[in-house]
Amino acid sequence: MARRNQHSREELQGLAIQAVRELVVEKGLEKLSVRKVADRIGYTAGMLYHVFANLDDLILHANAATLDQLLGDMDSAADSSPARALHQMASAYLALAREQTALWQMVFMHRMQNAAPVPDWYQQKTAALFDRVERQMAGLATDHDPAQIHLAARTLWSGVHGIAVLAAQDKLVVAGDVDEQAMLESLLEHYLNSWAGE
Amino acid sequence: MARRNQHSREELQGLAIQAVRELVVEKGLEKLSVRKVADRIGYTAGMLYHVFANLDDLILHANAATLDQLLGDMDSAADSSPARALHQMASAYLALAREQTALWQMVFMHRMQNAAPVPDWYQQKTAALFDRVERQMAGLATDHDPAQIHLAARTLWSGVHGIAVLAAQDKLVVAGDVDEQAMLESLLEHYLNSWAGE
**A42-69 CB burial, b ≥16 within 10 A, e <16:** ebeeebbeebbeebbbbbbbbbbebbee
Question: Which chain B residues are within 8 Å of A131, Cβ to Cβ?
Answer: none
- Give the pLDDT band (50/70/90) at residue A80: confident
End-to-end CA distance of chain B: 64
How many other C-beta atoms can be found within 10 angstroms of the C-beta atom of residue B84?
12
Out of A37-46, A48-57, B78-87, B140-149, least confident range = B78-87
Question: Which chain B residues are within 8 Å of A105, Cβ to Cβ?
Answer: none
Query: A161 and B165 in contact by Cβ < 8 A?
Result: yes
Distances, alpha carbon B187 to alpha carbons A159, A169, A183, B143, B191, in Å: 8, 23, 14, 22, 6
Q: What is the largest CA-CA distance in chain A?
A: 64
- By C-alpha distance, the chain A residue nearest B196 is A190
- By C-alpha distance, the chain A residue nearest B187 is A155
Query: B194 and A191 in contact by Cβ < 8 A?
Result: yes
pLDDT of residue B177: 78
DSSP character for B7?
S
Min Cα–Cα distance to chain B from A67, Å: 13
Q: Looking at the partner chain, which of A152, A159, A198 has a beta carbon nearest the beta carbon of B159?
A: A159
Question: Which chain A residues are within 8 Å of B70, Cβ to Cβ?
Answer: none
Q: Looking at the partner chain, which of A158, A190, A198 has a beta carbon nearest the beta carbon of B163?
A: A158
CB B62 within 8 A of CB B20: yes
Query: A186 and B195 in contact by Cβ < 8 A?
Result: yes
Q: Looking at the partner chain, which of A151, A169, A171 has a beta carbon nearest the beta carbon of B182?
A: A151
Mean pLDDT of chain A: 92
For B148-195, the pLDDT digits (tens) are: 999 999 999 999 999 999 999 887 777 777 899 999 999 999 999 999
Question: Which chain B residues are within 8 Å of A155, Cβ to Cβ?
Answer: 163, 183, 186-187
What is the C-alpha separation between B108 and A170, in angstroms, rounded?
10
pLDDT of residue B176: 76
Min Cα–Cα distance to chain A from B43, Å: 33
Query: B172 and A154 in contact by Cβ < 8 A?
Result: yes
Query: B175 and A154 in contact by Cβ < 8 A?
Result: yes
For chain A, list the domains and their CATH numbers.
1-52 (1.10.10.60), 55-196 (1.10.357.10)
- By C-alpha distance, the chain B residue nearest A165 is B162
CB A178 within 8 A of CB A80: no
What is the C-alpha separation between B183 and A25, in angstroms, rounded?
32
- By C-alpha distance, the chain A residue nearest B119 is A174
For A114-123, the pLDDT digits (tens) are: 888 899 999 9
DSSP chain A: ---TTSS-HHHHHHHHHHHHHHHHHHH-GGG--HHHHHHHHT--HHHHTTT-SSHHHHHHHHHHHHHHHHHHHHHTTTTS-HHHHHHHHHHHHHHHHHHSHHHHHHHHH---GGGPPPPHHHHHHHHHHHHHHHHHHHHH-TT--HHHHHHHHHHHHHHHHHHHHHHHTT-SGGG-S--HHHHHHHHHHHHHHHHHT-
Residue B33, SS3 per DSSP: coil
Closest listed residue to residue A66, CA positions, set A105, A34, A16? A105
Q: Looking at the partner chain, which of B158, B171, B187 has a beta carbon nearest the beta carbon of A163?
A: B158
For A141-181, the pLDDT digits (tens) are: 999 999 999 999 999 999 999 999 999 988 877 777 789 99
Contacts of B50-58 with CB under 8 Å at 24 or more apart are B50/B9, B51/B9, B51/B12, B51/B13, B51/B16, B52/B13, B52/B16, B54/B113, B55/B113, B56/B110, B56/B112, B56/B113, B56/B116, B58/B16, B58/B17, B58/B20, B58/B34
Q: To probe the interface with A, which of B170, B181, B191, B198 has the most A CB atoms within 10 Å?
A: B191
CB A48 within 8 A of CB A38: yes
pLDDT of residue B17: 97
What is the C-alpha separation between A193 and A87, in angstroms, rounded?
12
pLDDT of residue B3: 54
pTM value is: 0.92
Burial of B197 (0-12, 13-18, 19+ CB in 10 A): exposed
Question: Which chain B residues are within 8 Å of A195, Cβ to Cβ?
Answer: 186, 190
> Which residues from B are below 8 Å from A when comparing CB atoms?
108, 118, 123, 126-127, 130, 150-152, 154-155, 157-166, 169, 171-172, 174-176, 178, 182-183, 186-187, 189-195, 198
Burial of B16 (0-12, 13-18, 19+ CB in 10 A): buried
Closest listed residue to residue B174, CA positions, set A117, A151, A126, A150? A126
Give the contacts of B26 (CB within 8 A, at least 6 positions apart): none
Q: Looking at the partner chain, which of B127, B154, B171 has a beta carbon nearest the beta carbon of A108?
A: B171
| A8-12, A78-82, B22-26, B194-198, range with greatest mean pLDDT | B22-26
pLDDT below 70 — which residues of chain B?
1-5, 78-79
pLDDT of residue A24: 96
